[in-house]
Amino acid sequence: MASHFSRVAFTYDRTRYHPPEVSGRIASAFTAPVEKLFRDPLFLEIGAGTGRISVPIIARGYRYIALDENPAMLEVLRQKVAGVSRKVRLLEGDARELPLEKDSLHAVIAVHFWHMLDNWQKALLESLRVLRPGGFLFEGWDQTEGDNEDWKIQQQWKEILQGLGYPLVRGRHQARLAEVEERLIAHGLEPKTKMVADWVEPRSPRVSLEMIAERIYSFTWEVPEEVFRPSVIELAHWVYQSYPDPDTEYPIHWKFMLRGSRVP
């Protein structure tokens, strides 16, 4: 995963984003409950990537540790926060072995993260270990309905893979969220989920194709290269045949979901 993200860090940053007003609402959803209880709180984000969650929070002056195992992702983030980095620590590391003291943080943030890990249980335990009593574990994810052009292109790719003898497995993210919720409840926490922002993203078929070709989505990572390469060529042919102007943008309706759990 790390070597893959080194190659596509800038593509990832360009295609996985929130509009500014949405970023602000998301940042408020993370910070408001923490600020009510703690003075000068310290946040940790695991799997921070290029900073679509962290940058709006950092810009508000909060103390922030952004952890990612990939140096290319952190370098993109470093460039973004160069002028406001006094309270920021960028940390290359593994969320399953956090180099942080027990009870040292007021909030841990994990967005689109658990499904990317083997032994995610260890990362979850580490996140709970470093939280002080009364601190918050926040999980976030983007959610959309399937009926849009981007989804149709993904489904076409799935059918192409099926024809090449490779059954694509999807839904891992939602399944993992359910597993994590069960584990949190078993630890005596009471996770609560709510929508904190919604927006419409215009996206062209060309960009949808690019996001598959660059393996931006986690569901693309395990497809073997000898199958992946011809499948993308066939998908590109289908896209350019199906859309007379592949740069025409279509709307995608998104919601940002936040699940919060407070440590006893």
Over 90: is that where the pLDDT of 146 sits? no
Where do the domains of the chain lie, and which CATH numbers do they carry? 2-145+171-202+253-262 (3.40.50.150)
Over 90: is that where the pLDDT of 230 sits? yes
Place of tokens 């289908």: 238
Number of other residues whose CB lies within 10 A of the CB of residue 62: 21
Over 60: is that where the pLDDT of 9 sits? no
Over 70: is that where the pLDDT of 11 sits? no
In angstroms, the CA 254 to CA 209 distance is 19
In angstroms, the CA 199 to CA 255 distance is 7
Over 60: is that where the pLDDT of 6 sits? no
Over 60: is that where the pLDDT of 201 sits? yes
pLDDT of the residue at 16? 65
Mean pLDDT of 10-23: 75
Count of positions (residues) in the chain: 264
Mean pLDDT of 236-244: 97
Coil, strand or helix at 249: coil
Mean pLDDT of 207-228: 93
Residues 122-142 as b or e (16 or more Cβ within 10 Å = b): ebbebbbbbbbeebbbbbbbb
Report how far Cα 37 is from the mean position of its chain's Cα atoms. 26
Mean pLDDT of 39-63: 95
Residues 6+ apart with CB under 8 A from 91: 65, 66, 67, 68, 99
